[in-house]
Amino acid sequence: MSSNSTTNLSNQPAGASSLDLLHYILIGISVLAVLIVLLSGILCFKKYRSQNKTIQQLRREKSAAVLPHDSLPLSPISPQSLLVMPSLDTSAETHQHAQQRKPSGRLIWRPSQQKPQVARTDLKLIQLIKAGREGAFYRARMLRGTCKGHSFVTCKIAKEGITSKQLETEVSIMRKLVYHKNVLQLLDWNTTEKPFVLIMEVVSYGTLRSFVQTHHEKLSAEPEIQNLFTIASYHIALAMEHLRSKMVIHCDLALRNILVSRFPWEIKVAEFGLARDLTRMRSRRSTRKKHHRERVPLRWYPPEYFRNSYYSFKGDVWAFGIVLWEMQTFGSLPYPNLETSDQVVYHICAGTRNVGPDSCRPEILQIMKDCWLEPYTARPSFSDLVKILESIIENDLVGPQTSKERWTLVAVYAPYLIIPFLLLLTMLFSSTYNSTSKGANASSGSKKRR
- Residues designated catalytic: 252
Rounded CA Rg of the chain: 34
120 assigned to a ligand binding site: no
Q: Are 145 and 131 in contact (CB under 8 A)?
A: no
Q: At what angle do helices 225-245 and 382-398 cross, to 10 degrees?
A: 150
Any idea what DSSP says for residue 197? E
Q: Are 277 and 247 in contact (CB under 8 A)?
A: yes
Q: Are 340 and 276 in contact (CB under 8 A)?
A: no
CA 393 to each of CA 55, 337, 355, 406: distance values in angstroms, whole numbers, following the listed order: 7, 33, 23, 17
182 assigned to a ligand binding site: no
Determine the residue type at 146.
T
Q: Are 317 and 382 in contact (CB under 8 A)?
A: yes
Residue 319 φ then ψ, to 5°: -65, -35
Distance CA 202, CA 179 (A): 15
The residues, any chain, with a CB within 8 Å of residue 272's CB and separated by 6 or more, are 170, 173, 174, 248, 250, 252
Going by the annotation, the residues of the binding site for ATP are 256
Going by the annotation, the residues of the binding site for Mg(2+) are 257
